[in-house]
Amino acid sequence: MSQAGGGPAPADRRIPLVVVTGFLGSGKTTLVNRLLREPGLRETAVVVNELGSIAVDHHLLRVSEGGVALLEGGCVCCSLRGELSETLRDLFMQALQRRIPAFSRVLLETTGMADPAAVLFTLRHDPFLVERYAYAGTVMTLDAVHGAGQLSAQPEASRQLAQADLAVLTKTDLATPAQRAETMAAMARHHPGLRAVTADTVQSWRGTLDALGPYRQAGPGSGWQGWLGLSGVRAVAPASHAGVRVISLPVPGALHAGRFLAGLAALQDAHGEAILRIKGLLRFSGQAVTQVLHGVHKQRYPLAPVPSEKAGKALGLVLIVRGSPAESRAIEARAEALLRECATPD
């Protein structure tokens, strides 16, 4: 499990790493290429699973040893041939030794069938990487034509969506209005309140990526649902579709930190496979600040404090789960019991 408290240090000098995920053929490479064309995203290193899969075409300048390609404008493109940790370590060391240009951001394109949680695990558990790279959120490409079908039939797609902090709707030029509406509706069922954009409507990708991270979700309308990206969602009550269930629990007041975090860890250990995503806006007894909590499977990110006056008084916990009805009911009951047991008068 990850550390118990804290949050990103005020002057976090680590290199932000954004995961670009999405189901097979949903347009990840197309999106990455688009991002690299934006002048504000020069000095970006791109890590892809195979160098051949990124259409660098005329952008490609040269490939140095280690499979690192230098792109026009200073972007670095690198194939993920071995372990992710090795690749990120090599990239960092090569830049330090000035064998490749310095980079200030990493885009990591996963394979279409990937569970992006594995990336987070690597970033949180490799001490070298923990000090040098900061996970800055996940963007998911979602095919407007096939998205609804993929989300209901492909567990990988719903796992990717649960982890996403932003969905980019692709193939909108090919989709009928009905297909597009179905995809949006499926997205809302699997991850209520997730922000979705189309590539054409984004003015600044840099600004969009900078505002992504799991701790920067203060949505309009605030309140705990706003903070967790759930504002504007009419029904956050447990909904069931294709085995995905959103459990949304208001938290009446402050919690005992130690007991709650230990209980949550036990819940994640017991049901890690089924828990696609956890989001919480919580207050712990004796602390003036409210904490934003994020987790994926058995993983929990460091808590991030937000001033209570900014977060508002309402607190809540959301779990997006995928499992049998019996398992998701068990998770819900256990989460409710945990909140009851950890309630403090403070």
Ligand X SMILES: Nc1nc2c(ncn2[C@@H]2O[C@H](COP(=O)(O)OP(=O)(O)OP(=O)(O)O)[C@@H](O)[C@H]2O)c(=O)[nH]1
CB of 142 to ligand X, least distance (A): 10
d(CA 152, CA 158): 8
Q: Is 171 in the site for ligand X (CB under 6 A)?
A: yes
Which of 15, 16, 17, 26 lies at the binding interface for ligand X (CB under 6 A)?
Answer: 26
d(CA 68, CA 80): 10
Task: Decide: residue 270, CB within 10 A, 0-12 exposed, 13-18 middle, 19+ buried.
Answer: middle
CB of 28 to ligand X, least distance (A): 4
Classify 119 as helix, strand or coil.
helix
CB of 31 to ligand X, least distance (A): 7
d(CA 171, CA 144): 6
Q: Which stretch binds ligand X (CB under 6 A): 23-31, 130-138, 209-217, 325-333?
A: 23-31
Which of 17, 18, 22, 301 lies at the binding interface for ligand X (CB under 6 A)?
Answer: 22
Which of 7, 8, 25, 67 lies at the binding interface for ligand X (CB under 6 A)?
Answer: 25
Q: Give the DSSP per-residue string, 57-86.
A: GGGEEEEETTTEEEEGGG-EEEE--S-HHH
Q: Is 105 in the site for ligand X (CB under 6 A)?
A: no
CB of 174 to ligand X, least distance (A): 5
Q: Is 173 in the site for ligand X (CB under 6 A)?
A: yes
Which of 30, 152, 222, 287 lies at the binding interface for ligand X (CB under 6 A)?
Answer: 30
Q: Is 179 in the site for ligand X (CB under 6 A)?
A: no
d(CA 272, CA 274): 6
Q: Is 21 in the site for ligand X (CB under 6 A)?
A: no
Nearest CA to 21 among 164, 204, 121? 164
d(CA 28, CA 142): 9
Q: Is 27 in the site for ligand X (CB under 6 A)?
A: yes
Q: Which stretch binds ligand X (CB under 6 A): 6-14, 76-84, 170-178, 269-277?
A: 170-178
CB of 186 to ligand X, least distance (A): 18
Nearest CA to 83 among 51, 126, 41? 126
Could you tell me which residues are beta bridge partners of residue 278?
295, 319
CB of 61 to ligand X, least distance (A): 21
Q: Is 217 in the site for ligand X (CB under 6 A)?
A: no
List residues near ligand X by CB under 6 A. Answer: 22, 24-30, 53, 112, 141, 170-171, 173-174
